[in-house]
């Protein structure tokens, strides 16, 4: 897989996008799936229902392998910095601790 594409019209939390970024793949997504995607840094964000923009973004990354590789690396760094297991565990602990110490208020 050279480029990950998710042209969703609606999306809850696009975990597949984070998985692709963790695998160092540049992503091409629509705004619905763009959580964590910084346009031009880790991939491309294209309008919904715009097949030409989608195709152009994918072709751009397939043609410029060096840029695609940089985007993939940046995506991996983003996932490690914001979604690592240790970080997620700490965040859950903070939420639970907050709930416990508020005494049900």
Q: Give me the pLDDT at residue 105, please.
A: 58
For every one of its 105 residues, what pLDDT tens digit does the chain have, with 9 covering 90 and above?
A: 699 999 999 988 888 999 999 999 999 999 999 988 999 999 999 999 999 999 999 999 999 999 999 999 999 999 999 988 888 898 899 999 988 888 655
CATH H-level, domain 4-101: superfamily: Glycogen Phosphorylase B; (3.40.50.2000)
**Is-contact 31 48, C-beta < 8 A?**
yes
Which DSSP string corresponds to 29-59? E-GGG-TT--BTTTEEE--TT-HHHHHHHHH
């Amino acid at each position: 897989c050279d480029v990950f594409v998710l042209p969703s019209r609606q999306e809850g939390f696009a975990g597949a996008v984070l998985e692709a970024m963790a695998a160092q793949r540049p992503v091409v997504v629509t705004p619905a799936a763009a959580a964590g995607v910084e346009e031009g840094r880790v991939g491309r964000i294209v309008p919904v229902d715009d097949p030409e923009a989608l195709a152009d973004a994918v072709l751009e990354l397939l043609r410029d392998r060096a840029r695609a590789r940089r985007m993939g690396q940046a995506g991996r760094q983003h996932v490690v910095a914001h979604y690592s297991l240790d970080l997620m565990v700490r965040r859950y602990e903070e939420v639970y601790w907050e709930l416990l110490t508020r005494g049900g208020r």
